[in-house]
Amino acid sequence: MVVRVRSAASPYFHRLSHVPQFLCARRMSQSIIEPSFPSFVSVEPPNPNNINIRVVSYNILAQVYVKSSNFPHSPPPCLRWKARSQAVLTVLKSVEADFLCLQEVDEYDTFYKRNMEDNGYSSTYIKRNGQKQDGCGIFYKHNFAELVLEEKIEFNDLADLIQDGNSSSVNEQDDSSVDTAPDKPLKNASRIQGDPSDPRVRLKRDCVGIMAAFKLKDTSQQLVILANTHIYWDPEWADVKLAQAKYLLLRLAQFKAIVSNKFDCTPSVIVCGDFNSTPGDKVYQYLVEGDSSSSQTQDDSKDVSISLRSVYAVLGGEPTFTNCTPDFTNTLDYIFFSPSGQLKPVGFIELPALESSDLAGGLPNSHYPSDHLPIGPNFEVPRT
């Protein structure tokens, strides 16, 4: 039985009248960011004997990339930091998530950390390498979960694996055709330093991720691992994306083993992120199916010990899109989970229809402060 929980005002997203509107106005011209708030759909009634875990993943669009040349379709006033930051913050508060996995977080120390702390969230964060100003953060309700262990992932380490000869899976380019396209084709276009045909150069894309183990405070034994990442954007570098996905699962398997041994448990796993890959791409296929290719070495095969399923696929199908601009509209963001664990998905954020007038012209706009949409499930776990 499907129990749909929606606003009466809108079948997809609703606006809350009591939530402030953020002016992005200049002189006589007025444009208002009236944030559209995600609506959760329940697929079955809640079990009072279980604990509900709400996880939301959201690429919030780093302000460092917000330029009118990158987003000529967006109302210029609504690209300004003051309006966007407050609108993003309001959306984050509105979803009432237990865990928020955010990508493209800049102004972490100066804005998001402090403001989220004021709303009951603690956090852990990793900034991208080099001169990059954004990164990935996991925010969690400190009265709901306790952070007990964490590790950070720098995908530039893949270049060292190439030099050491420890990973054949990233030595060869994947020349297969893929359907991905860059979600922000201009904002990420930086000059490649060195010979791009050299895998040691190709793999240094300054992408990062973070893994954290949490003890749920309402249980005596439940541990959950959350991973959050942002995979490289360029559709012509499918080999780099796939190498990063493989390294992510390798590190995740190692981290899970450490957590299991340290806390004498079998933690559930949730993986969130902007994977810059559509459901038909090899990155997505690898994450949900693993890699049984004959060229894979025994060492490389360890990463498939993490079995994952996509929450939205399990609950009926991936969204039609999670990123929406005039040049590209498709699904790039996912939340995966370990199906053999204690986690049971029982609800999800329902995304708007592409025909929605609020999406007209592409994102960001006066209703959505990022070019991505937030996604997320409700899970249940036994109260042990």
Task: Provide the sign of the torsion angle of the four alpha carbons 233, 278, 95, 228, taken in this order.
Answer: negative
Lowest mean pLDDT among 23-27, 140-144, 241-245, 255-259: 23-27
Strand partners, 335: 272
What is the C-alpha to C-alpha distance for residues 55 and 101, in angstroms, rounded to an integer?
Answer: 8
Instruction: Name the phi and psi angles at 133, rounded to 5.
Output: -105, -5
Percent of the chain scored above 70 by pLDDT? 80
Residue type, 243: A
In a domain, 319, yes or no: yes
In the chain, count of helices (H) and strands (E)?
7, 17
Would residue 9 count as lying in a domain? no
If one counts every other C-beta atom within 10 angstroms of the C-beta of residue 164, the result is 8
Burial profile 262-272: b = 16 or more Cβ within 10 angstroms, e = fewer: eeeeebbbbbb
Which phi-psi region, left, alpha or beta, contains residue 276 (left: φ > 0; alpha: ψ -120 to 50)?
Answer: left
* pLDDT tens string 51-88: 999 999 999 999 999 999 999 999 999 999 999 999 99
224-276 residue pLDDT tens = 999 999 999 999 999 999 999 999 999 999 999 999 999 999 999 999 999 99
The pairing of beta strand 99-105 with beta strand 50-59: parallel
- Distance in angstroms (rounded) separating the CA atoms of residues 29 and 24: 9
| Residue 144 belongs to some domain of the structure | yes
Checking 289-292 for CB contacts under 8 A at 24+ apart, the result is 291/169, 291/246
- Number of domains the chain contains: 1
Asked whether residue 11 is domain-assigned, the answer is no
In a domain, 145, yes or no: yes
Q: ∠ CA 248-176-191 to the nearest 5 degrees?
A: 70
Q: 128: domain range?
A: 22-382
Q: Report the CATH number at residue 153.
A: 3.60.10.10
Q: Is residue 113 part of a domain?
A: yes
Domain contains 351: yes
Question: Is residue 241 included in any domain, yes or no?
Answer: yes
